[in-house]
Amino acid sequence: MQRLSKLVAAAGSASRRKAADLIRAGRVRVDGRVVADPGVLLDPDKSRVELDGRLLRPQPKRYFLLNKPRGPLSAVVDHRGRTTILDLLGDVAERLYPAGRLDADTEGLLLITNDGDLTYRLTHPRYQVEKVYEAEVRGRPTPAVLRRLSRGVMLDDGPSGPARVRLLRPGDETSLIELTVHSGRKRMIRRMLKAVGHPVHRLRRTRVGPLLLGDLQPGRWRPLTQHELTRLSTSIHEGAAPLQGAAHADDKDS
Question: Residues 43-100: pLDDT tens digits?
Answer: 878 889 999 999 988 778 899 999 999 999 998 888 898 999 989 987 776 778 899 8
Q: Where are the domains of the chain?
A: 2-55, 63-125+210-236, 130-208
100 near 111, Cβ under 8 Å?
A: yes
- 154 backbone dihedrals φ, ψ, rounded to 5°: -75, 120
Helix 116-123, helix 226-236: angle, nearest 10: 60
User: Does 130-208 match 63-125+210-236 at the fold level?
Assistant: yes
One of 103, 105, 157, 215 is an active-site residue; which one? 103
Q: Assign a CATH topology to domain 2-55.
A: 3.10.290
For a pLDDT cut of 90, what percent of the chain falls above it?
Answer: 57
Burial of 12 (C-beta count, 10 Å sphere; 0-12/13-18/19+): buried
Predicted pLDDT at 241: 45
Across residues 216-239, what is the average pLDDT? 87
Q: Assign a CATH topology to domain 63-125+210-236.
A: Alpha-Beta Plaits (3.30.70)
Q: Looking at the domain that runs over 130-208, which CATH code has it been given?
A: 3.30.70.1560
Predicted pLDDT at 254: 33
Taking the C-alpha atoms of residue 181 and residue 236, their distance in angstroms, rounded to an integer, is 16
Taking the C-alpha atoms of residue 111 and residue 15, their distance in angstroms, rounded to an integer, is 13
pLDDT higher than threshold 50 for residue 250: no
112 near 92, Cβ under 8 Å?
A: no
* pLDDT higher at 245 or 237: 237
Band of pLDDT at residue 2, cut at 50, 70 and 90: confident
Contacts of residue 190, Cβ cutoff 8 Å, sequence gap at least 6: 103, 199, 200, 203
177 near 167, Cβ under 8 Å?
A: yes
Taking the C-alpha atoms of residue 231 and residue 210, their distance in angstroms, rounded to an integer, is 7
Is 156 considered catalytic here? no
pTM, 2 dp = 0.77
Beta strand segments in 41-173, E: 41-42, 49-51, 54-55, 63-68, 97-98, 107-113, 131-138, 154-155, 158-159, 164-169
Predicted pLDDT at 12: 66
Taking the C-alpha atoms of residue 242 and residue 226, their distance in angstroms, rounded to an integer, is 9
Band of pLDDT at residue 34, cut at 50, 70 and 90: very high
Taking the C-alpha atoms of residue 234 and residue 220, their distance in angstroms, rounded to an integer, is 26
8 near 115, Cβ under 8 Å?
A: no
Angle at 116 between CA 239 and CA 222, to 5 degrees: 90
